[in-house]
Chain A
């Protein structure tokens, strides 16, 4: 399998005295549905932002879609092919209406308004929110905002989805709908989350971020799903 994301020897710190990652390695393969787990503050969000080039690492190599990414231009090229869903949907929905928000990415990719409008309609149908096209983004519920945020990512026709804590603060219904959208989209995805019951439904593969390193957890030896405790699973 080809690697969509291949990170080697990555180091990063916000504060030089407290490094977050020292020589981290991480691989994400074509077709994978991977859950990235780890305690609060383990660095999940940081890692996802490094992959997107939204923050820059001090050393190490990031390869996305088989190409080395280090300059802003290289990351921008990669970003256009990755659908990124932020933890707080309020940050992601910055346009006046749902339709405008979904059209934002496609328009930035240089599509015409008619083409973008077509994608808006298709995307809304895909996420089951056809009637929300002209609703003001701020007036949606949290769950609806999240689903629209996923729609804004899908509208870019990405090769890969990356989601940061997609279910925080959402009720069961909203989680169900998000799970459905993810299962239906047919794309590989990487999800940072600590809601294990949600991950069990949508992402069978699991990578754990602990002490600044990634540990892959084979399906069989995974710790009890209901107890995301300190138990560390090494290579058994």
Chain B
């Protein structure tokens, strides 16, 4: 068995999550299990204090992962965009009746409403942050290998692996084609010419990916491919895995304590 040493020496790459993080060395299987447990715990919370604790716990995890702050904010922005819609509804008496604490024109803001909206916001952010911290630091192909070890069917994992590998190539091809179009004065708008151009772009991408698929298949045949994409298993539990598990279990214990005792 090989270690994961050097696996994350690639530069930060948010698509693949291949970036050097203290958490990238942890076992992929363990991280999947831990993040599931942590998310289940958080979704079961009703108390605002416990939810706040969970949020703080996720912040600790993201700090451990040393995820770039800028990128984190960009990702949270997307989540909280949807939260903003919720804040337009839930705090008001028409959706959450209760003790009125303020009035905005004809609308009454209730204490229960504000609490509920805060609870939902905290829980959603806590879950997303922990997923970024744990799964974002696991390169996708390690996730694939982990899912294989967790007995997900071979074919599915193989397809997933090739998809991961060629998504990047397709994306580069798309960028190249677009650059080539731009170089000849292409600008996207709703004119029939621009729409035709966009259709050609999509068409070329489809044709190219077929060509590519055929060449990759030939390359696989050349090396004796018979239907299975082997990946060297790169997993075994290490002391740092125990440390991570203990940290998360301790955090979960604290959050559980806040929820069920306070």
Q: How many A residues face the partner with a CB closer than 8 A? A: 40
22 pairs of residues in contact across A and B, judged by CB atoms under 8 Å: A54-B218, A79-B222, A90-B169, A94-B216, A95-B165, A95-B229, A96-B144, A96-B161, A97-B7, A104-B223, A108-B224, A108-B225, A108-B226, A113-B230, A116-B232, A117-B2, A133-B2, A135-B9, A136-B139, A139-B10, A139-B11, A153-B223
A117 to B231, CA, bound (A): 11
- Asked if A4 is at the interface (CB within 8 A of a chain B CB), the reply is no
Among candidates A86, A104, A133, A153, residue contacting B230 with C-beta atoms closer than 8 Å: A104
**Bound state CA distance, A86 and B166, in angstroms?**
17
Residue B220 at the chain A interface, CB threshold 8 Å: yes
The B154-182 residues at the A interface (CB cut-off 8 A) are 161-162, 164-166, 168-169
Q: Which residues of A contact B229 (CB under 8 A)?
A: 94-95, 104
A105 interfacial contact with B, CB 8 Å: yes
Q: Which of A80, A96, A134 contacts B165 (CB 8 A)?
A: A96
**Interface majority SS on A: helix, strand, loop or mixed?**
helix
Among the listed B4, B11, B164, which residue makes an inter-chain contact with A134, where contact means beta carbons less than 8 Å apart? B4
A139 to chain B: closest residue by CB: B10
B75 CB-CB contact with A under 8 Å: no
Which of chain A's residues have a CB closer than 8 A to the CB of B9? 135
Shortest Cβ distance from B177 into chain A, in angstroms?
16
Closest 6 CB pairs of A and B: A96-B141, A108-B224, A105-B223, A139-B10, A134-B7, A91-B215
Write the nearest CB–CB distance from B7 to chain A, whole angstroms.
4
Is residue B212 within 8 Å, beta carbon to beta carbon, of the partner chain? Answer: yes
Please, which residue of chain B has its CB at the minimum distance from the CB of A107? B230
CB-CB < 8 A to B40: which residues of A? none
B6 an interface residue at 8 Å Cβ cutoff?
A: yes
CB distance from B220 to the nearest CB of A (A): 7
B residues within 8 A CB of A90? 169
Nearest B-chain residue to A77, judged by Cβ: B224
User: Counting CB contacts under 8 A, is A160 at the interface?
Assistant: no
**A88–B2 CA distance with the chains assembled, in angstroms:** 29
A156–B212 touching, CB < 8 Å: no
Quick check: A136 and B222 within 8 Å, CB to CB?
Answer: no
User: Is B151 in the interface zone, CB < 8 Å from A?
Assistant: no
* Chain B interfacial residues counted at CB < 8 A: 40
Report B123-149 residues with CB < 8 Å from chain A CB: 139, 141, 144-145
Residues of A within 8 A of B222 (CB): 52, 54, 79, 82, 84, 86
A197: CB under 8 A from chain B? no
In angstroms, Cα B169 to Cα A92, docked, is 12
Identity of the chain B residue whose Cβ is nearest the Cβ of A162 in the assembled complex: B222
Q: Quick one: which of A99, A113, A138, A139 has the most chain B CB within 10 A?
A: A138
A140–B228 alpha-carbon span in the complex (Å): 24
Q: A residues within 8 A CB of B220?
A: 94, 104
In chain A, what residue has the closest Cβ to B144?
A96
Chain A window 96-135, contacts with chain B (Cβ cutoff 8 Å), 1 for yes, 0 for no: 1101100111011100010011000000000000010111
Contact indicator A86/B7 (Cβ below 8 Å): no
**A84 CA to B219 CA in the complex, in Å?**
8
CA–CA, A79 and B219, complex, Å: 11
